[in-house]
Chain A
Amino acid sequence: MQRLGPSLWTWDSSWQQAPATSLPLGVQKILLGSAFTSKIKLGPGLDPPLVLGLPLQLKLAVSRVVLNQGPKKEILVLLPLGVSSLLNLWVQLQGCLFLGTFPAFILLFYLVFYGFLTAMFTLTMWVMLQTVSDHTPKYQDRLATPGLMIRPKTENLDVIVNVSDTESWDQHVQKLNKFLEPYNDSIQAQKNDVCRPGRYYEQPDNGVLNYPKRACQFNRTQLGDCSGIGDPTHYGYSTGQPCVFIKMNRVINFYAGANQSMNVTCVGKRDEDAENLGSFVMFPANGNIDLMYFPYYGKKFHVNYTQPLVAVKFLNVTPNVEVNVECRINAANIATDDERDKFAGRVAFKLRINKT
């Protein structure tokens, strides 16, 4: 808090040029305040300057100046005179500019500064996003080996069925119904092509964007006993012969199987698991996955793509025992022995059928 001095007029000159704002006061003591403050607080030793016996106050806002002298009040409109006056405002007059108690400049500064930072961040992000294509990710090195996953999706990859307790498996059934809905024959026939099996269904762009790309039909009926169509056993869950669906993770432009046929096999993880697992059947037969469902072209292009599934129906699992099942894909170009990624080309899950 400083007493106003003659230096006021160094700043003053910039707006003095505008006729509406000239103040023929000469070098006077004036109290400056921001327009936000109704009353200027006086610091110690700061007496209100008197002009003709009346205290004089000057309040600044961005676009106007309010001049108070006792009961008289005048509002002067400040014409925007360019950046220089604003710049001067913060560099020169601070010692004198008395902004009440609120640090308006600091607020203004941070507003501008953070605005600028946001703009800078947005700009760099925008530039960065220009390097990313809409349909194919730039790098796919992490996805060299697609993972395997089961349906129904459960919290800890354990399929627990209490045969007598409908609620325990009903949620699985609901999930599966929902999951398999796009595979309904009617929908598939309507949206997808019938492709030639045993061959990749390639739809190259050849210079022109081939969009949207067609997908091959995977009919729900192909899942046989596990299709759940007209199935009173609810995918076998009500009878303790549950179906578990194996799916392979989608990876764009991945030619799974390297032009050779591939299939999914399941085994009990350890010997006792194998014993407890009993027999199972797979749909499509042998757990085959056809090449025609590859390559995948991505969400944007391959709009109606339905990934191939393999259903496993466990026929006589030893009840009341936890069985560790591991299914893996046998394909020429999918390694299933990654030490760190336990789901690369394989999936392990627990199966437990509780019967009373």
Chain B
Amino acid sequence: MRLKTPEIYSVELSGTEDVGKTDTGDGKEKYRGLKDKRLELKKNHQKEELKKEVDLEDHKLSIKELERKYGTNIVTGLSSTQAAELLARNGPNALTPPKETPEIVKFPQADGAILCWIAYGIQYFNDKSSSLDSVYLGCVLALVVILTGIFAYYQEAKSTNIMASFSKMIPQQALVIRDSEKKTVPAEQLVVGDIVEIKGGDKIPADIRLLSTQGCKVDNSSLTGNLTPSLRTHDNPLEAENPWNKMSTSPVGTATGMVINTGDRTIIGQIASLASGVGHEKTPIAIEIEHFVHIVAGVAVSIGILFFIIAVSMKYYVLDSIIFLIGIIVANVPEGLLATVTVTLSLTAKRMAKKNCLVKNLEAVETLGSTSIICSDKTGTLTQNRMTVAHLWFDNQIFVADTSEDHSNQVFDQSSGTWASLSKIITLCNRAEFRPGQESVPIMKKVVVGDASETALLKFSEVILGDVMEIRKRNRKVAEIPFNSTNKFQLSIHETDDPSDKRFLMVMKGAPERVLEKCSTIMVNGQEQPLDDSTAEAFHTAYMELGGLGERVLGFCHLYLPADKFPETYSFDVDTVNFPTSNLCFVGLLSMIDPPRSTVPDAVTKCRSAGIKVIMVTGDHPITAKAIAKSVGIISANSETVEDIAKRLNIPVEQVSKRDAKAAVVTGMELKDMSPEQLDELLTDYSEIVFARTSPQQKLIIVEGCQRQDAVVAVTGDGVNDSPALKKADIGIAMGIAGSDAAKNAADMVLLDDNFASIVTGVEEGRLIFDNLKKTIAYTLTKNIAELCPFLIYIIAGLPLPIGTITILFIDLGTDIIPSIALAYEKAESDIMNRKPRHKKKDRLVNAPLAIYSYLHIGLMQALGAFVVYFTVYAQEGFRPSALINLRVEWEKDSVNDLEDSYGQEWTQYQRKYLEWTGYTAFFVGIMIQQIADLIIRKTRRNSIFQQGLFRNKVIWVGIASQIIIALILSYGLGSVSALNFTMLRPQYWFVAVPHAILIWVYDEVRKLFIRLYPGSWWDKNMYY
């Protein structure tokens, strides 16, 4: 799976970042290993450490001081011996590999395994005096344990492999100066003090202190969460200019630096270990399964012990009683369920992978379904992650540009003369270029060399005007002042493409207020007009409006340099600026935004109706964040923040009643000052929340706040710094395209298309799987009673044993497996996206109605039906039901070879044994036939089967066919293998249980009918599971 090819991405830096990312490779294991080491840390200590900013001093030191500190020389580098010494002392420059859990440990984790081994021991002990049956049973039980263990392990390993294949290790190389020579060494062998050279596109191999650079920028976005390369000078080492961090990529230029930290001591290493230190809570489905196991184990053990006591007090041998106990427990434990659940989950995981949700942890499939709060990133997840021209202002009018993914229809008025000038400025005053060799690629997907804004402008003009490069060629550039942060504008001078016009065209773009300062006229409808107060006012209104939309606004102006002063041969000098830069003609404004993905508003609405709260957490400016939140519906159209209300009513913010506001925009600064109680209050009081200007560390605080509300929290993230929050969340969702490996490793799920809408499909699948698991479990539990009753009757009434333990295993692990998996394919009964997420603590997977209905209603019916088959077989062979009561002791005696039946005939021991096996087979077939009915009724919980469609889920029919075929094979194919205790059953006995099967169906239809007719009634409460 090569998922890394950036499609929507156009900015060069992202492209290289992707390539670089592959290298961290098996990071997952690495981080896991760190966990052990970090576990000692107390939780609160951890948190402090997390929230504390990273402490690095080296960026403040001078080069001389550095050389001294690290004992190196920036020209000659370290000597090889020094390097080897350091390597031996500090270890390789790699994150600590994991302490792998020995795989064998995972094996016997199957529930009840130990019990079965004890069973085996007892059986073996018992074997000395009894037949081989006990040994067979012991072997079968052991086999079951091993097989389910292997199976569960295999499934888990398979899903882990998906991830492993996802990030294959590519050995990373570094160019290092050692012994005054440039050498290429594996990045792992870097040591502190090494002088490394970085080229554009390289991944920084370790934390380095920059020594010299040539036009080199670095993208620290995975560390700081910022999209744009940060070049600020700052006291904070993460944001300072000269130290660069491992895993960052350098998109352009070259640089030399000194390694100051390696391996686990790098900032990345620290964060990674902190991330793995954040405890990962048990997944909701794991809790549910555990709850279910408790119920089943409780029932099994209590019934088992109860009957053990009864058996002992009825003067059965203790050893016999123990075997009864095992029989009861085997009957009660759904042996096949573990495998079924695993398969069901992985089927859904596969289905989700098709929908671009790659699930790393199988259990996370369901967690997503119970999600009640989604903390989503903005950039890339909700938005398209590329600047796009959203609005234009010229001729005193704001025009809207198309921001959809393909820019297909730009509908604004392009006839104005002003537009002609503006488009020329946009085209010419732009340094961004398409990377060559992409003729066949759609414009929006072409890779561009240049920064985000210029890229946006380039693509915008390319879409509207056609070949921009051609236009630029015709208007040859003669001089240029690139953008810098002091003058905040960019200027270039071009020849015009009109051969008769010998004037030069000077075009300028920049911060609108700066650009306007330099203008004395303004172009309206293609005509230059003096810039008076009213036009300036209009400009300001437009500027504020566009700014208020959270958009980045640029101003554009131009000037035709008079041909007499600036003849064709004039040489422009950008350093002395021998040309006018004032009294220009203002042309227009253009605003850009990273627009929301077109699928997101719909997805947010879906989340809403599904009762999921969507919280936006972003590092962006509050205004931008709010604008995006509004446009995608995170803040709905009619809800207001406190600030909005204050503005509308024209009163101070403090006077606004907080209850009136549904939405809130909270900045990181405000969040910092909040106590946990205040945060809780904020999270409960407002239904629509946007966190802006937050640091990734604060994300963790937000997640914890949400979890205090008993919510199941899904968090999206892409940066390294997000990984603690991703770990902490109930389900961490990493971005497949933009995400760093650290984030992907910490996450439970990876969104391959970075699209928020995929989360919603995931939620739907998660909810469906919960419902279907309920059905599967109900189906599996039902037959337990039918398997249990024989033992109870056997002990109490002394009938010949109706069904053997091995036969029970053949139901649990044979006929029932495929049908219970088939239920995973069942479609949803109603719109599952229109109900509230399930409450983690109240809506259990296995609730009382489910257990009671399965055990005491359907289960009992099944038992009765199976007994009818059993009694039929015995009666027709000569033992009427009345003769069977209390026959057990004589029946089982080996020495009794003339046991009299109801007709006076006498039976040898083997003849009886064979009849007993026929009884097993009959009981087995009885259960199997009724399990078919059970399977059909379990298709729905509320709707009638006929509403759901009997044939819509074809897999159910595969399941039914498998049930019948396995039973046929067991009876007719393996009927002669005595160890399996099956015999060839007369064909008519297969139909004896059919009336009971029909009864089950009818009864369940009646149940569902009443549930639908009387919602909320006593019936509904007690019979709906």
Measured CB to CB, the residues of A under 8 A from B are 90-92, 94-95, 105-106, 110, 113-114, 117, 120-121, 124-125, 128-129, 131-132, 135-140, 142-143, 146-149, 153-157, 247, 249-252, 296, 298-300, 302, 305, 338, 340-344, 347
| Interchain CB contact under 8 A, A106 and B1022 | yes
* Chain B, residue nearest A158 (CB): B895
Enumerate B878-915 residues with CB–CB distance to A below 8 Å. 878, 880-881, 895-898, 900-911, 914-915
What residues of B have a CB within 8 angstroms of the CB of A153 in the complex?
Answer: 895-896
| Residue from A91, A95, A124, A252 within 8 A of B903 (CB atoms) | A252
B1017 within 8 A of A: yes
| Interchain CB contact under 8 A, A137 and B905 | yes
Bound-state Cα–Cα, A136 to B903, Å: 7
| Residue from B905, B909, B910, B1022 within 8 A of A251 (CB atoms) | B905
| Interchain CB contact under 8 A, A155 and B895 | yes
B1016 within 8 A of A: yes
Query: Nearest Cβ distance between residue A264 and chain B, in whole angstroms?
Result: 15
* Chain B, residue nearest A149 (CB): B898
Given the known interface contacts A90-B1019, A124-B995, the answer about A249 and B875 at a Cβ–Cβ threshold of 8 Å is: no
- What is the interface residue range for chain B against chain A? 35 or more
What residues of B have a CB within 8 angstroms of the CB of A95 in the complex?
Answer: 1016-1017
* Chain B, residue nearest A141 (CB): B877
| Interchain CB contact under 8 A, B895 and A296 | no
| Interchain CB contact under 8 A, B904 and A299 | yes
Given the known interface contacts A105-B1018, A142-B915, A252-B903, the answer about A131 and B876 at a Cβ–Cβ threshold of 8 Å is: yes
| Interchain CB contact under 8 A, B877 and A142 | yes
Query: Nearest Cβ distance between residue A230 and chain B, in whole angstroms?
Result: 28
Bound-state Cα–Cα, A251 to B1022, Å: 54
* Chain A, residue nearest B903 (CB): A298
Given the known interface contacts A94-B1018, A137-B903, A149-B897, the answer about A142 and B911 at a Cβ–Cβ threshold of 8 Å is: yes
| Residue from B861, B875, B978, B1014 within 8 A of A132 (CB atoms) | B875
What residues of B have a CB within 8 angstroms of the CB of A250 in the complex?
Answer: 900, 904-906
Per CB-CB distance, the 10 closest pairs between chain A and chain B, nearest first, are A299-B904, A147-B908, A94-B1018, A249-B906, A341-B910, A137-B878, A138-B876, A343-B908, A149-B898, A343-B897
Query: Nearest Cβ distance between residue A322 and chain B, in whole angstroms?
Result: 16
Bound-state Cα–Cα, A316 to B901, Å: 38
A-B contact pairs, 17 of them (CB 8 A): A90-B1019, A94-B1019, A120-B864, A121-B867, A121-B868, A128-B872, A128-B875, A131-B876, A138-B875, A138-B877, A143-B905, A146-B906, A149-B898, A156-B895, A249-B906, A298-B903, A338-B910
Enumerate B822-861 residues with CB–CB distance to A below 8 Å. 856-857, 860-861
Bound-state Cα–Cα, A114 to B856, Å: 10
What residues of A have a CB within 8 angstroms of the CB of B861 in the complex?
Answer: 117
What residues of B have a CB within 8 angstroms of the CB of A121 in the complex?
Answer: 864, 867-868
Bound-state Cα–Cα, A143 to B1018, Å: 55
Q: Is the interface of B mostly helix, strand, loop or mixed?
A: helix
| Interchain CB contact under 8 A, B876 and A344 | no
| Interchain CB contact under 8 A, A120 and B999 | yes
| Interchain CB contact under 8 A, A343 and B905 | no
Bound-state Cα–Cα, A266 to B903, Å: 29
Bound-state Cα–Cα, A344 to B162, Å: 61
| Interchain CB contact under 8 A, B907 and A117 | no
B166 within 8 A of A: no
Bound-state Cα–Cα, A131 to B1017, Å: 44
* Chain A, residue nearest B881 (CB): A125
Bound-state Cα–Cα, A249 to B992, Å: 31
B941 within 8 A of A: no
| Residue from B914, B995, B1010 within 8 A of A142 (CB atoms) | B914
Bound-state Cα–Cα, A243 to B635, Å: 102
| Interchain CB contact under 8 A, B1017 and A94 | yes
Query: Nearest Cβ distance between residue A244 and chain B, in whole angstroms?
Result: 14
| Interchain CB contact under 8 A, A129 and B995 | no
B727 within 8 A of A: no
| Interchain CB contact under 8 A, B905 and A252 | yes
Query: Nearest Cβ distance between residue A80 and chain B, in whole angstroms?
Result: 22
Query: Nearest Cβ distance between residue A150 and chain B, in whole angstroms?
Result: 9
* Chain A, residue nearest B869 (CB): A128
B996 within 8 A of A: yes
| Interchain CB contact under 8 A, B880 and A132 | yes
Bound-state Cα–Cα, A135 to B901, Å: 12
Bound-state Cα–Cα, A88 to B516, Å: 80
What residues of A have a CB within 8 angstroms of the CB of B419 in the complex?
Answer: none
| Interchain CB contact under 8 A, A249 and B867 | no
Bound-state Cα–Cα, A162 to B163, Å: 79
What residues of B have a CB within 8 angstroms of the CB of A92 in the complex?
Answer: 1014, 1017
B920 within 8 A of A: no
B871 within 8 A of A: yes
| Residue from A138, A147, A296 within 8 A of B911 (CB atoms) | A147
| Most A-side CB within 10 Å, residue of B878, B880, B1014, B1021 | B878
| Interchain CB contact under 8 A, B871 and A125 | yes
What residues of A have a CB within 8 angstroms of the CB of B905 in the complex?
Answer: 137, 140, 143, 249-252, 296, 298
Enumerate B681-717 residues with CB–CB distance to A below 8 Å. none
Query: Nearest Cβ distance between residue A122 and chain B, in whole angstroms?
Result: 10
| Interchain CB contact under 8 A, B895 and A117 | no
Bound-state Cα–Cα, A153 to B898, Å: 10
Query: Nearest Cβ distance between residue A352 and chain B, in whole angstroms?
Result: 16
Bound-state Cα–Cα, A305 to B900, Å: 14
Bound-state Cα–Cα, A138 to B995, Å: 22
What residues of A have a CB within 8 angstroms of the CB of B906 in the complex?
Answer: 146-147, 149, 249-251
| Interchain CB contact under 8 A, B877 and A139 | yes
Bound-state Cα–Cα, A139 to B905, Å: 12
| Interchain CB contact under 8 A, A143 and B911 | yes
Query: Nearest Cβ distance between residue B369 and chain A, in whole angstroms?
Result: 30
Query: Nearest Cβ distance between residue A219 and chain B, in whole angstroms?
Result: 21
Query: Nearest Cβ distance between residue B21 and chain A, in whole angstroms?
Result: 58
What residues of A have a CB within 8 angstroms of the CB of B992 in the complex?
Answer: 128
